[in-house]
Structure 1
Amino acid sequence: MCLGIPGRIVATTDVAGLLMGTVDFGGITREVCLAYVADDAAIGAYVIVHVGFAISLVDEAEAHRTLELLRSLGDVLQDELAPLDDPVRPPRHEPSRGPATT
């Protein structure tokens, strides 16, 4: 599943000519490329982030509604925002292994 997660820009920086920013996703912060929204990427603005890239701006009310919806789904928000270098989380439920043998 591909999700675009809303977050608030809390800092911006230029890295070798590329606009980057720190984005707060309701308490979880990540470094994000802001190049696609560079003209409107102001501190305090809300963006939709997909795979580390801010792909569009969104208003604050919509960002909060979406974050609340994602929180209601359990670990979805945490899973989507887990750093890539973290070990993959194990499945929540063990798959069926078929009938028991004795």
Structure 2
Amino acid sequence: MCLAIPCKVVEIIEEDGEKYAIAEYKGVKQKAKLTLLDKEVKIGDYILIHTGYALEVLSEEDAKLSLEAWEELFKALEEMEQ
């Protein structure tokens, strides 16, 4: 099982004939190959990334719901550590 946090696409680049998204979550940027997606990715879209590949494009609403759930989890884990 893999867990992925939605990342916001901030740049689209092309290298060696392949398209990549540069996506960001909390200031951390990562590059994701777009070849597995069947729809066009635009700057501002949210994507799920696993092992360097974008696996899914999320609606903004779904991304926000997922990000809220992640924040709740992080907060609960932080409280458990105290």
Question: TM-score over 0.5 for the alignment?
Answer: yes
- Determine helix, strand or coil for the equivalent of 1:5: coil
Misfit runs of 4+, over 4 Å: none
Q: Match of 2:55?
A: 55
Q: Match of 2:2?
A: 2
Mark the structure with the bigger radius of gyration. 1
The residue correspondences of 1:1-102 to structure 2 (distance < 5 A) are: 1-37=1-37, 39-74=39-74
Highest RCO, 1 vs 2 (Cα 8 Å, sep ≥ 6): 2
**Gap change, CA 1:38 and 1:20, over 3 Å in 2:** farther
Q: Match of 1:97?
A: none
- Determine helix, strand or coil for the equivalent of 1:4: coil
Write out per-residue CA displacement over residues 68-91 of structure 1, whole angstroms, 9 at most, x where no aligned residue.
21122228xxxxxxxxxxxxxxxx
- Percent of aligned positions that are identical: 26
Cα distance, 1:4 vs structure 2:
2.5
Larger strand share, 1 or 2: 2
Cα distance, 1:26 vs structure 2:
3.9
CA distance in structure 1 between the partners assigned to 2:24 and 2:42 by the alignment: 13
- Determine helix, strand or coil for the equivalent of 2:64: helix
Task: Name the TM-score, length of structure 1 as normaliser.
Answer: 0.63
Instruction: Give structure 2 stretches of 5+ with no counterpart.
Output: 76-80
Instruction: Give structure 1 stretches of 5+ with no counterpart.
Output: 76-91, 93-102
